[in-house]
Amino acid sequence: MDKTGYYGTFGGAFIPEILSTTLEQLQLGFKEAKEDPAFWSTYQGLMSTYSCRPTPLTHAENLSRHFGGPQIYLKREDLNHTGAHKLNNVMGQGLLVQRMGKTRVIAETGAGQHGVATATMAAKFGYSCTIYMGEVDVARQRPNVFWMEQLGATVVPVRDGARILKDAINEALRDWSTNMDTTHYVLGTACGPHPYPEMVSYFQSIVGTEVREQILRQSGRAPTRVYACVGGGSNALGVFSGFLDDAEVELVGVEAGGEGLETHKHAARLASEHGSVGVAQGYKTYFLQDDDGQMLETHSVAAGLDYIGVSPILSAYHEEGRVRFEAATDEEVLEATRLVMRKEGIIPALESAHALAGAFREAPEMNGDGVVIINLSGRGDKDIFTIADALGDTAWKSFIITKAEEYRA
């Protein structure tokens, strides 16, 4: 990364003038924090006593036998406090908010895990908290909405646009531009204007540091491949960070293939031919957009992967060839979810199940002495309605429809 926040030709800070001073303050605050050894020590201590770190690396023996190929290991971010990797980032940003002396935090969320994590952080540190969430996601992620509200956050359903994650981000940016003196925007993934991609990947690197030590201790060797789902890219950058300097370790990001890449009902920016370079929401990267630069609608069974853009850091790795990108369809994801539940007794988030699906597709073709790590970025409690609906459970479907109508009212 250069000093202006570019990773190759991607990144930067394309923001309205009104936000320039606030963003400069954040850049300076983050730089000072990174250079202060006590800050990282405080962060690690907080995560170890409050957030169940280090999270385990589980040898999935049953899955390994099932595929008859490599030994499969799951990095258990689903066991992190609040049920996903998201808390790694928000607790770090919470400490930054303390240093900057602000009293209110706002956030966007799709799957709701980032919203719950932000609301949790706000409760822990005593901040006022507002969460923006697309109306579609509010309905399909009702359990997380409930917990955000119980934690004291105000959840604002966004009814503009497609009413999903990109629209929630736009609304959060509008809020920030009018309340920047007191408010910090806790961006949930490694996207947006500089320094957010650097900052989020910095806090998520705790995952890579842990898993590298764990796999060397447990298997005696570096992995053959590391898989992670890719929405914005925070969990992928976290787990990949432990192996970026190991050329022999293949890094695989799995995007949302939705109903198939040929249908355009997907969110595959890098794994398809539909992504192109553009500027939106404060940064330059690959987006799903038309020839005029208008953002296209996306689709995924997983709310957290239903996003038009991708981290500029991952775009740079894509062009360098350091990370390979694939896509998993909704059907493959649901099958992978069922398989992990039946074979290992683990309920993965639908986002994480994309990484599982990508790995399961390739595992039978891999050498039997290989070692695979899959980042299980979150647990699937939040997806009970979506999974039940996909599997034809009409009772849950009726409940979802009722809740959606309540919010529209």
pLDDT digits (tens, 9 = 90+) for 150-182: 999 999 999 988 888 888 988 998 999 999 999
pLDDT confidence of residue 400: 59
pLDDT at 407 over 60: no
- Contact status, residue 86 vs residue 114, Cβ threshold 8 Å: yes
Domain 52-83+205-404 has CATH 3.20.20.100: no
Out of 77, 108, 135, 255, pick the active-site residue.
108
- Contact status, residue 175 vs residue 106, Cβ threshold 8 Å: yes
pLDDT at 203 over 90: yes
108 included as an active-site residue: yes
Burial 59-90 (b: 16+ CB within 10 A, else e): bbeebbebbebbbbbbbbbbbbbbbbbbbbbb
Topology at the third CATH level for domain 6-48+86-196: Rossmann fold (3.40.50)
Q: What is the mean pLDDT of residues 303-320?
A: 95
Question: pLDDT digit string (tens) for 44-82?
Answer: 999 999 999 999 999 999 999 999 999 999 999 999 999
Residue 14 exposed, middle or buried by CB count within 10 Å (0-12, 13-18, 19+): middle
Out of 51, 75, 77, 86, pick the active-site residue.
86
Q: What is the mean pLDDT of residues 235-249?
A: 98
pLDDT confidence of residue 306: 87
pLDDT confidence of residue 317: 98
Model confidence at 83, pLDDT cuts 50, 70, 90, reads very high
- Contact status, residue 65 vs residue 339, Cβ threshold 8 Å: no
Model confidence at 4, pLDDT cuts 50, 70, 90, reads confident
Model confidence at 288, pLDDT cuts 50, 70, 90, reads very high
pLDDT at 323 over 80: yes
Q: Where in the chain is the domain with CATH 3.40.50.1100?
A: 6-48+86-196, 52-83+205-404
pLDDT confidence of residue 126: 98
pLDDT at 307 over 80: yes
pLDDT confidence of residue 387: 84
Question: pLDDT digit string (tens) for 354-394?
Answer: 999 999 999 999 988 899 999 999 999 888 878 888 777 76
Out of 234, 255, 377, 382, pick the active-site residue.
377
Of the ranges 8-12, 17-21, 316-320, which one carries the lowest mean pLDDT score? 17-21
Of the ranges 210-219, 229-238, 294-303, which one carries the lowest mean pLDDT score? 294-303
Q: What is the mean pLDDT of residues 24-36?
A: 96
pLDDT confidence of residue 396: 61
pLDDT confidence of residue 401: 62
Number of H helices, E strands in the chain: 15, 14
**pTM of the entire predicted model:** 0.93
Provide the 8-state DSSP code for 153: P
Q: Cα(130)–Cα(148) distance, rounded to whole angstroms? A: 9
Model confidence at 111, pLDDT cuts 50, 70, 90, reads confident
pLDDT confidence of residue 337: 96
pLDDT at 237 over 70: yes
Residues forming a β-bridge with 225: 250, 372
86 included as an active-site residue: yes
Which is more confidently placed, 369 or 197? 197
Half-sphere exposure of 291 (CA within 13 A, CB side): 0
- Contact status, residue 311 vs residue 1, Cβ threshold 8 Å: no
351 included as an active-site residue: no
pLDDT confidence of residue 408: 59
Model confidence at 255, pLDDT cuts 50, 70, 90, reads very high
pLDDT confidence of residue 316: 98
